Chain A
Amino acid sequence: AQTVTQSQPEMSVQEAETVTLSCTYDTSESDYYLFWYKQPPSRQMILVIRQEAYKQQNATENRFSVNFQKAAKSFSLKISDSQLGDAAMYFCAFSVYNAGNMLTFGGGTRLMVKP
């Protein structure tokens, strides 16, 4: 079984600054995917970024990037130039390759952005 841990229940960042959200996971699998999802107050789950475990290069999507450390089983999300619209719950998720696309989620980190 896989577990995903987000050790920061809440984080805050000043608008235009950079913030990093932490995520660790535990698995015996070697091929898998990692995700960050954003959940704003509307409750919609929005995919932010995805990382394939076999890729050494860290994924980047505009202001969002990850630091994937496979040996350490760590997958942090960096948000640069934070905007008020980034305020949301952020969930880290894990999925085993070729095993049905089922996601295991962490407990979430609430990000507050201060103007």
Chain B
Amino acid sequence: DAGVIQSPRHEVTEMGQEVTLRCKPISGHNSLFWYRQTMMRGLELLIYFNNNVPIDDSGMPEDRFSAKMPNASFSTLKIQPSEPRDSAVYFCASSPRGSGNTIYFGEGSWLTVV
């Protein structure tokens, strides 16, 4: 079975540009998470969806960040405008109901803003 699929795997963009990261969760999973990993702050939860509805977005750093989940098989994380401090690895993860809180990660999107 396919795991969580993220794209792009790597992106280099200039400050001020819009960045869109994409995620396809594992089929049948009803929860989706966006995490960010940096050297300074480690792994941080940005936002959590359940049944396509945002439940907790308290980790979204500021208004430049937005996330959507228009259907059960697709989510986006958008940064507009991007800044160098947004450089990080962004992970999408999904989880099925009754998984005992186990979540499954994608391979991550490595973003560099120059």
- A residues sitting closer than 8 Å to B (CB atoms) are 33, 35, 37, 42-47, 50, 52, 91, 95-97, 100-108
Contacts and interface: CB of A to CB of B under 8 A. Distances in A.
A100 B50 contact: yes
A44 to B, nearest CB: 5
B45 interface: yes
Given A35-B102, A44-B107, A47-B104, 11 more contacts: A43-B89, A43-B110, A44-B108, A45-B108, A91-B43, A95-B101, A97-B101, A100-B55, A101-B48, A101-B101, A103-B33
| Main DSSP-derived SS at the B contact region | strand
A47 B95 CA distance: 13
Contact of B100 (A43, A44, A52, A91): A52
Interface in B45-76: 45, 48, 50, 55-56
Contacts of A47: 102, 104
Interface of B: 31, 33, 42-43, 45, 48, 50, 55-56, 89, 91, 93, 95, 99-105, 107-108, 110
A40 to B, nearest CB: 11
A102 B43 contact: no
A105 B31 contact: no
B33 A50 contact: no
A102 B33 contact: yes
B45 A42 contact: no
Nearest to B104: A47
16 contacts: A33-B100, A43-B89, A43-B107, A45-B93, A46-B105, A47-B102, A47-B104, A96-B101, A101-B31, A101-B48, A101-B95, A101-B101, A102-B56, A103-B33, A104-B45, A107-B42
A10 to B, nearest CB: 14
